[in-house]
Amino acid sequence: MLTRALFALALICGTAAAAPAEETKVLALGLTDHEVTQAELEKGAALPAPHFNTPAIAYVSAANLKKGDVVEIALVNGDVRLLQNAQTLADDQALYLLQAGKRGVPAGGWPEGTYRAELKITRDGKSLIEQSSTPIPFD
């Protein structure tokens, strides 16, 4: 009887250990006119869009990242990457926020065009997620 109970317990524990880890996913990706916090993103309120005469920040909030993952975020105008930030994670991250942009305004304002945030997450040298935000013109 004890052997059967131990066998059943081993099966249950083994099944739980073999359960797949949570899938890496993007929680928020976009552009705004200020540095954001995770708490601000979790509220889910719409963030103000940048204009030609305001700061511009590309941001990404991602979940279930692993040690060694590389997270890259860029502020892009048309096909030109203006500003970018990349981090290689030293530890697993249940929740991670990365931003790239400019707190100030370039002399004369941002160049004319359509802007977007571009994200790339790489794991073990292979692209895991590549995603862009909806393009917006800076008016």
Per-residue pLDDT of 71-127, as tens digits, reads 999 999 999 999 999 999 999 999 999 999 998 999 999 999 999 999 999 999 999
What's the total number of domains in the chain? 1
Residue 50 has pLDDT above 80, yes or no: yes
Q: For residue 83, is it within any domain?
A: yes
Average pLDDT, the chain: 88
Q: For residue 29, is it within any domain?
A: yes
Q: Between residues 125 and 7, which one has the greater pLDDT? A: 125
Q: For residue 4, is it within any domain?
A: no
Q: For residue 11, is it within any domain?
A: no
Q: For residue 129, is it within any domain?
A: yes
Residues with Cβ within 8 Å of residue 52, at least 6 apart in sequence: 109, 110, 112, 138, 139
Per-residue pLDDT of 9-41, as tens digits, reads 444 444 444 445 689 999 999 999 999 999 999
Output the domain CATH number for residue 38. Answer: 2.60.40.10
In 13-105, DSSP assigns E strands to 25-32, 56-65, 70-77, 80-88, 93-102
- What pLDDT score does 120 carry? 98
Q: Which domain holds residue 29?
A: 22-137
